[in-house]
Amino acid sequence: MTHSSSHQRLMTGAEIFVRSLVEEKVDVVFGYPGGAVIGIYDALHDISDIKHILTRHEQGAVHAAEGYSKASGRPGVALVTSGPGATNTVTGIADAYMDSIPIVVFTGQVALKLIGNDAFQEADIVGITRPITKHNYLVRDVNELAATIKEAFYVATTGRPGPVLVDLPKDVMASKAVFSYPKSVKLRSYQPHTEGHQKQLSKAAELIAKAKRPVLYVGGGTILSGASEELTAFARATGIPVTTTLHGLGAFPESDELSLGMLGMHGTWYSNTAVHYSDLLIAVGARFDDRVTGRTDAFAPEAKKIHIDIDPSNISKNVKVDVPIVGDVKTVLKQLTPMVKPLDTKDWVRTIRAWKEEHPLRYRNGKEVRMQHVIQTLSGLTKGNAVMVSDVGQHQMWMAQFFNYMLPRTHLTSGGLGTMGFSLPAAMGAAFARRDIPVISVSGDGGFQMNIQELATIREHSVPVKIIILNNGYLGMVRQWQQLFWRKRYSHVEMFGPDFVKVAEAYGIPGFRATQTAEVEETLRRLLDTEGPALAEFRVMKEDNVYPMIPAGQTYNEIMDVPEATEEEQGERLELVTIAKG
């Protein structure tokens, strides 16, 4: 037997593991050691090609791997121990699964002969994560280790990407084998096809040629597929306006006249209006999520629908479509673009322009800091040239609305699962992938406290994350729902928070605070100008609501825009700020 690229010396599973990561060109691993992975950590000790970042919680490690992946397009890697180490990864894995983020999570496991015995720090993590991983593996033989790792990375990054978990029993990692890393993977049971079917493409081209009021509905799949350029070229070649989902932000420059900003529950008034009256909706790497469609039978009721998606199970799952095209967005757009001619959408674009003028995004600015104002100012200061990492809640929606996204992979958020506590560790991971532009973490006071421990990791490695806390002392989105739909009975949404500036200082991170609008720009400048990590807390208006809003499960007709100013607000002479995308 010959191994061309092999080393005949026997290696332990732990050494094979580390060598395999080097073969996969993994440069950063986010992890946390423990008893079951102590051998792996011993092997990691000698390797200079891989930087190991010790997070302060395993959830932080997985979100960091997600952030790394979202910002770079390369798979993120996390390594944790068995039992509690493994179960602490569950939220991050579920998050990555919902948002199709390619990560590979390695968990330690008790020795094979102890599995099932309720051994110390044993958890059936393969069983636990089966419904929230794209695939998972328990390695039972050291001779299969290298091939399994190769396969794990392959499965995570191809087709519809997603998290893959590899469970590593302690004794397997101590056994020895010859290391031979496979050059390629071929699985007879898994062969995602990337090219669109010619017949479907022709049908789509026909529908496009006939469309008078077409809209491109662009989702995160476009960014995952690296197809922003192809999409932009397609939209400009045809003259079709573009609305994006939360995850599609950045796929199309929001300064473009054809941009409609985000659609859905908190989408712009004009994007939802355009979709409602469209006669052709082209879904590109989007999955007709309930936060986009509202009541599905009333979503884009007049439109024929084309759906480009790599995952066949997304087709006609929520909304019946007329022309499905299963394939990789980038490949399909390359195929489709030469098949279509420029459309005469001048009237349609003019109508949309009027809607933008009538119903722009709005908020009333005053002395008290508005989250919208902080985000809008940040958008102006960075000119869209930053990786913006949001958490979950009101600020997340305002970040989608009031920041102008210009580039793919610059808007990172937890969309599908809606994981509070995502922003800080994800931004940290993103900063390991992107040193060329600022990485800005924005959280509410609630979410920030869910992974606050990662401040230590950030400080330890001087990760240059700019941290913004928009502190309203509330779980703002839940409070908004309680106000609007639950008779203003504020049940357990007001919360005490620490002095975040002092917290930052305690971790050795410079902290700033702004308490009124006049201080916002200066505080942001100081934050951005600080070398290395820095934190700014904004004490913002306690009760403000995100608009427009289409209440859950309802239709476009129920859309709520910013209400008229109350007498009190009129007395304050608030400045009405409006912006429209494109």
Q: Residue 353 carries which side chain, given as an amino acid letter?
A: R
CA 508 to CA 506: how far, in whole Å?
A: 5
> At 171, phi and psi to the nearest 5?
-70, -35
Let me know if 403 is a catalytic residue.
no
Taking contact as CB under 8 A, which single stretch among the options 184-192, 259-267, 339-347, 454-462 is the one that binds other proteins? 184-192
For other proteins, give the closer residue by CB, 315 or 465. 315
* 452 within 8 A of 420, measured Cβ to Cβ: no
Minimum distance between the CB of residue 189 and other proteins, rounded to whole angstroms?
5
For other proteins, give the closer residue by CB, 318 or 530. 318
Let me know if 121 is a catalytic residue.
yes
Taking contact as CB under 8 A, which single stretch among the options 94-102, 306-314, 399-407, 540-548 is the one that binds other proteins? 306-314
Minimum distance between the CB of residue 130 and other proteins, rounded to whole angstroms?
5
For other proteins, give the closer residue by CB, 7 or 130. 130
Tell me if 171 contacts other proteins by CB under 8 A: no
Residues 318-347 that bind other proteins (CB under 8 A): none
Among 54, 112, 190, 572, binds other proteins (CB under 8 A): 190
Number of residues interacting with other proteins: please give it, by CB under 8 A: 19
CA 345 to CA 212: how far, in whole Å?
A: 7
Let me know if 522 is a catalytic residue.
no
Residues 103-142 that bind other proteins (CB under 8 A): 126-127, 130-131, 134-135, 138, 140
CA 15 to CA 7: how far, in whole Å?
A: 12
Three-state helix/strand/coil letters over 141-198: CHHHHHHHHHHHHHHHHCCCCCEEEEEEEHHHHHCEEEECCCCCCCECCECCCCCCCH
Let me know if 480 is a catalytic residue.
no
Minimum distance between the CB of residue 426 and other proteins, rounded to whole angstroms?
26
- H or E segment to which residue 469 belongs: strand 465-471
Tell me if 143 contacts other proteins by CB under 8 A: no
Minimum distance between the CB of residue 251 and other proteins, rounded to whole angstroms?
24
Q: Is 435 helix (H, G, I), strand (E, B) or coil?
A: coil
For other proteins, give the closer residue by CB, 188 or 492. 188
Name the catalytic one among 8, 25, 51, 120.
120
* 391 within 8 A of 423, measured Cβ to Cβ: yes
For other proteins, give the closer residue by CB, 135 or 353. 135
Let me know if 120 is a catalytic residue.
yes
CA 330 to CA 326: how far, in whole Å?
A: 12
CA 63 to CA 65: how far, in whole Å?
A: 5
For other proteins, give the closer residue by CB, 131 or 563. 131
- Comparing CA positions, the residue from 549, 580, 579, 551 lying closest to residue 563 is 549
Provide the 10 A C-beta neighbour count for residue 560: 15
Tell me if 312 contacts other proteins by CB under 8 A: yes
Q: Which residues belong to the active site? A: 58, 120-121, 170, 477
Residues that bind other proteins (CB under 8 A): 126-127, 130-131, 134-135, 138, 140, 155, 187-190, 311-313, 315-317
